[in-house]
Amino acid sequence: HARTTTTDGIMSDSEAEEVLRPEQTSKADADAEADPQASLESLKRNTLNRNLDSISKVQQYLVDGETETAKFRNQVLKLTQNYYIKSSRLSEAEIVELREQKAVAVVEADGLMERLCQLAYEAFEAERKTHFTHPDGAIKKEPLNLMSYVMTLCQNYSDQSEQFALALSKNQWVLKLCSEMQRDWADDHLADKLPDLVNKRLRQSLSVVYNMLFKGNSEIFFNLVDYHFVDTAQPYLKSGSDRFRFSAYLVLVFSCNEEEASRLLINEKSLVTFLVENLSSAHRHSSRRSNGYHVIELAKCAYQFTKNEDNKDILLECKILPVLSDMLQSPPERSDEVSMALKIILSMSFNSACSSNIKEICGPELRSLRSNPQWKSNRDLEAIQYNTEEVYTTDGPFIPDDDNERGDLRDVPLPRQRSVKQNLQLGQSADLPPAPPPPSAPPPTGSSAAKPPPPQPPGASAAAVAQPQAPGSAGETAGHVMISYHQHSSGEFVRWICPQLKEQNFKVWVDFEQMQDSTLDCMAKAVEGSAAVLMCVCKGYKESNFCRMEAEYAVRRRKQLVPLLLEHKYKPDGWLGFIMGTQLYYNFSRNKEESFAKLVGYLKQSVLKSPDESIAPVTQPVQTATPPKPRPPPEPAYTKWTSEEVLNWLLENKLPSHLEPFKLEGRHLLFLLKMKSQAPEAFYRLLEKSLRLTLFHQLYDFVEALERL
């Protein structure tokens, strides 16, 4: 993320009113700039000291209660202007580092931001209805200027520093200021009743929120949830200003859940086109910018956009793949563009329509990268091949059946040794939580179980494998427990739970870079050798491509999934909500010790042979010692229906004729009923997206007929 003062998020010199222009370069800095012998360290020290001096003076005014004076406002202005660094001798990286240090100094100044943001909110509160204007239309400069300085300070440093953005997300005054300003001034903005200077502050409120959300920090995200920025930003999609519309759009892209995105963003194709066109322009321009936006920032926005399933189809329609194909051909000095293009392509490759287009449009460039020593070991590139060409297992590549092509989770391939019908008879399917394996089944083992654990799991997501060991069994195992988690979001939790598992006689290890196999092969071995997979459910997990691959591969391999909820405000949706369905989960977001005790009890009793018991192997079945298992209830007759019989059922119930080409069979109807019971949200989404039942009466008639079965 490398924006400068010319971006939409940060006020450019041409936008800034005269009171907000950066101050003149100091004499000491001017001398250092002109003298090539002058130390760069002295130049850096001067700019940092000037920032500390401004902080000290502003704090003194706050202590003295002199907050309504022109001198106080001027000191706040100087503090804000300290963000701007003009030096031809400093590299962009050095400027970024200096700004980060300045941001940290502002955050760590005791009570500074809390009090400044309170003053800005109070200025807004006093002029909420007047829009900072006198009856004759003149601007009330003093209160507006103070609010402008504070908002610009928030905007600039929240863009530059995640630490600053996190602190700002805990500041009730700036969040109240942004949310209430957006809510209360929306109608007047849409009616073109706001002065230009006030409109700039309003758009700035959107940019402050966007900067915080852009960091991708779950704590920031949940700190903002209670202020309902999805609702406050939505009206500005109707703004007459393209800049306003795009600012609001970016807030929604980063804050909407799956349902909100499907409802609010799906009709904003023109803004997606704007994003794609600017991404293309920035990639082709020597400055790597378009309309002030850096190519990497635009790419990250596009990547965030792909986190919602429906958005992938929109990006495909807006022709982002040719742009990404061009980015894949970037020279070595622009490797960051190649990396971002791969991330976007990987995220899109979970969609079946996108997957086939990726092979066609980006295939040559992807194959070229695979033969490039710099990129051939890139795990995003490896995962794209996994999603678009073949599914790897430890026994070699798995090629999907012709009638069950890979796509998103609804179309996930099944192992060849069982048919779909057989899996449904066992109470298992690729889309439903599988039943625990029968007690007589031999425990799976993994070839990698003997490897020692590294001190800390690296990478964006990791797979920890726990192996219960019975006392005295000398290495005999009852099966593995794989912990699938997002490193950045849940690494600390996994480092806590691993010792806890060891105390329960589990051997815990992490199988990433310490193994010789590729990332995907390592993941495949961990999954295939497991009796259960613990999913560390959080927002970061849902948004991680590799966590998704681990979870979906576990579903394909019929593994027992056990969700562990780590964020109490998070509600799983999208692909993760689809996998979880209505499964029970263990809530580790509150009482970890209590939840852990319940989890261990469940694993011992329902999934794994208890590590506290030494069970001798049984070589001959003992009929007298084993009570007969209750017979499963007979399957309804309709489960045997052929596609012709289902067609007759469709006609008898006067259901839409467009369902005929789907060739539904009775087993499919049973699957739909199970899905409706266990994953209702996913069920209705499938009807709408896959069976194209988009009208209310069509949906009603189909569900009613299905339930009568």
Is 506 in contact with 516 (CB distance < 8 Å)? Answer: no
Residues 595 and 647 in one domain: no
Residue 600, number of CB atoms within 10 A of its CB: 19
Residues 113 and 22 in one domain: yes
Is 464 in contact with 564 (CB distance < 8 Å)? Answer: no
Per-residue pLDDT reduced to its tens digit, 575-624: 898 888 767 889 999 889 999 999 988 888 776 654 444 333 333 333 44
Residues 552 and 650 in one domain: no
pLDDT score recorded for residue 671? 87
pLDDT score recorded for residue 640? 87
Per-residue pLDDT reduced to its tens digit, 190-236: 999 999 999 999 999 999 999 999 999 999 999 999 999 999 999 99
| Final residue of a structural domain among 551, 586, 607 | 607
Q: Which of 298-307, 317-326, 637-646 has the lowest mean pLDDT?
A: 637-646
Residues 581 and 649 in one domain: no
Whether residue 386 is contained in a domain is answered as no
What is the average pLDDT score of the chain? 79
Phi, psi of 251 (to 5 degrees): -60, -45
> Could you list the residue range(s) of the whole structural domain that residue 702 is in?
637-708
Per-residue pLDDT reduced to its tens digit, 237-261: 999 999 899 999 999 999 998 888 8
| Final residue of a structural domain among 590, 607, 624 | 607
CATH number, residue 473: 3.40.50.10140
- Confidence band for 131, pLDDT divided at 50, 70 and 90: very high
* pLDDT(452) > 60: no
What total of structural domains would you count in the chain? 3
Whether residue 530 is contained in a domain is answered as yes
Whether residue 193 is contained in a domain is answered as yes
Whether residue 78 is contained in a domain is answered as yes
Residues 70 and 219 in one domain: yes
pLDDT score recorded for residue 629? 52
Whether residue 347 is contained in a domain is answered as no
* pLDDT(172) > 50: yes
Q: What is the DSSP letter of 433?
A: P
* pLDDT(263) > 90: no
Is 248 in contact with 264 (CB distance < 8 Å)? Answer: no
| Final residue of a structural domain among 229, 254, 270 | 229
Higher-pLDDT residue of 37 and 370 is 370
Residues 586 and 486 in one domain: yes
Q: CA torsion angle for 414, 417, 421, 422 (degrees, to 10)?
A: -120
Nearest to 278 by CA among 295, 303, 256, 260: 295
Residues 473 and 525 in one domain: yes
Highest mean pLDDT among 141-150, 478-487, 580-589 belongs to 141-150
pLDDT score recorded for residue 21? 46
Residue 372, number of CB atoms within 10 A of its CB: 13
Residues 602 and 658 in one domain: no
Nearest to 690 by CA among 251, 310, 386: 310
Is 436 in contact with 427 (CB distance < 8 Å)? Answer: no
pLDDT score recorded for residue 237? 95
Q: Which of 350-354, 415-419, 570-574 has the lowest mean pLDDT?
A: 415-419
Q: In the structure, how many helices (H) and strands (E) does the chain have?
A: 31, 10
Residues 592 and 692 in one domain: no
Whether residue 558 is contained in a domain is answered as yes
Sign, CA dihedral 367-372-374-377, equals positive
Residues 684 and 586 in one domain: no
Maximum separation of any 2 CA atoms in the chain, in Å: 99
pLDDT score recorded for residue 415? 31
pLDDT score recorded for residue 465? 52
- Tell me which long-range contacts 18-23 makes (C-beta under 8 A, separation of at least 24): 19/77, 19/141, 19/145, 19/148, 20/77, 20/80, 20/81, 20/148, 20/149, 20/152, 22/81, 22/84, 22/86, 23/78, 23/81
Considering the entire predicted model, what is its pTM? 0.72
- Confidence band for 699, pLDDT divided at 50, 70 and 90: confident
Per-residue pLDDT reduced to its tens digit, 427-449: 333 333 333 333 333 333 333 33
CA angle 153, 159, 163 (to 5 degrees): 90
- Confidence band for 342, pLDDT divided at 50, 70 and 90: very high
| Percent of the chain at pLDDT exceeding 70 | 76
Residues 644 and 593 in one domain: no
Under 8 Å CB-to-CB from 288, ≥6 apart: which residues?
Answer: 282, 294, 295, 296, 334
Q: Which residues of 222-248 are buried (b: 16+ CB within 10 A; e: fewer)?
A: ebbeebebbebbbbbbebeeeebbbbb
Please report, for residues 303, 636, 675, the alpha-carbon distance to residue 425 in angstroms, rounded to integers and kept in the order given. 40, 12, 15
How far is the C-alpha of 328 from the C-alpha of 330, rounded, in Å?
Answer: 6
| Segment 669-673 mean pLDDT | 88
Residues 641 and 597 in one domain: no
SS3 341: helix
533, β-bridge pairs: 482, 561
Please report, for residues 429, 552, 577, 692, the alpha-carbon distance to residue 432 in angstroms, rounded to integers and kept in the order given. 5, 11, 11, 22
Whether residue 545 is contained in a domain is answered as yes
pLDDT score recorded for residue 516? 52
Whether residue 266 is contained in a domain is answered as no
- Confidence band for 401, pLDDT divided at 50, 70 and 90: very low
